[in-house]
Amino acid sequence: MQGIFMQLSVAMANVLAAEQVAEIDREQSMLLSVSNEIATTRDKKDLLQVLHRKLGKLFSFSHTVICVLNSDKKTVRTFLLDPHSPNQKHPDYPRLTQDVFPIDDSLLNLALHADSPVLFDAEMLVRESKGSLCVRINYECGIREFLFVSLRNGEERLGFMMMCSRTPNEINRQKLHLIQGIASQLSVAVANILTNEELERKIKTIQGYQLQLEKEKSYLQEEINDTCNYQEIIGAGPAIQEVLLRVSKVAKSDSSVLILGETGTGKELISRAIHNQSHRRDQLMVKVNCAALSPHLIESELFGHERGSFTGATDRRIGKFELAAGGTLFLDEIGEMPLDLQVKLLRVLQEKEIERVGGKAVIPTDVRIIAATNRQLWQEVQAGRFRSDLYYRLNVFPIVIPPLRDRPEDILALVDHFVAKYARKMGKAISGVSDQVLSALKAYPWPGNIRELEHAIERTILLAQEPLIRNIDVSMADAPEDAGPENGALPVEDRVKTIEEIEREHIVLVLKKCHGKVSGAGGAAELLKIPSTTLSSKMKRFDIRRNEFE
DSSP characters for 396-430?
Answer: TEEEEPPPGGG-GGGHHHHHHHHHHHHHHHHT---
- Please count the CA atoms within 13 angstroms of the CA of 210 that sit on its side-chain side: 6
Asked if the model's pLDDT at residue 325 lies above 50, the reply is yes
pLDDT mean over 415-426: 90
The residue that leads in pLDDT, 170 or 18, is: 170
Of 33-42, 59-68, 221-230, 332-341, where does the model show the most confidence?
Answer: 332-341
Q: Which residues contact 323 (CB under 8 A, 6 or more apart)?
A: 213, 216, 217, 220, 284, 286
Of 42-56, 333-347, 465-479, 512-526, the poorest mean pLDDT is in: 465-479
pLDDT mean over 120-149: 84
Asked if the model's pLDDT at residue 515 lies above 90, the reply is no
pLDDT at residue number 16: 67
Percentage of the chain beyond pLDDT 90 is 13
Q: Which residues contact 370 (CB under 8 A, 6 or more apart)?
A: 256, 257, 259, 271, 274, 275, 328, 329, 330, 331
pLDDT at residue number 395: 92
Q: Which residues contact 156 (CB under 8 A, 6 or more apart)?
A: 191
Q: Which of 516, 543, 519 is nearest to 530 (CA)?
A: 519
Asked if the model's pLDDT at residue 433 lies above 50, the reply is yes
Q: Which of 75, 81, 115, 118 is nearest to 96 (CA)?
A: 81
CB-neighbour burial class of residue 284 (10 A; exposed 0-12, middle 13-18, buried 19+): buried
Kindly indicate the confidence band of residue 21, based on its pLDDT and cuts at 50, 70 and 90.
low
Chain mean pLDDT for the chain = 81
**d(Cα 378, Cα 179) in Å, to the nearest integer?**
76
Contact criterion met (CB below 8 Å) for 244 and 234: no
What angle do the packed helices 2-39 and 176-227 form, to 10 degrees?
A: 10
**Burial profile 47-68: b = 16 or more Cβ within 10 angstroms, e = fewer:** bbebbeebbeebbebbbbbbbb
Q: Which residues contact 532 (CB under 8 A, 6 or more apart)?
A: 518, 519, 520, 523, 525
SS3 523: coil
How far does Cα 432 stand from its chain's mean position?
49
pLDDT mean over 463-477: 74
CA distances from 297 to 14, 51, 165, 541 (A): 81, 53, 59, 20
**d(Cα 124, Cα 527) in Å, to the nearest integer?**
60
- Alpha-helical runs (H) found in 330-376: 339-351
Asked if the model's pLDDT at residue 479 lies above 60, the reply is no
Contact criterion met (CB below 8 Å) for 47 and 161: no
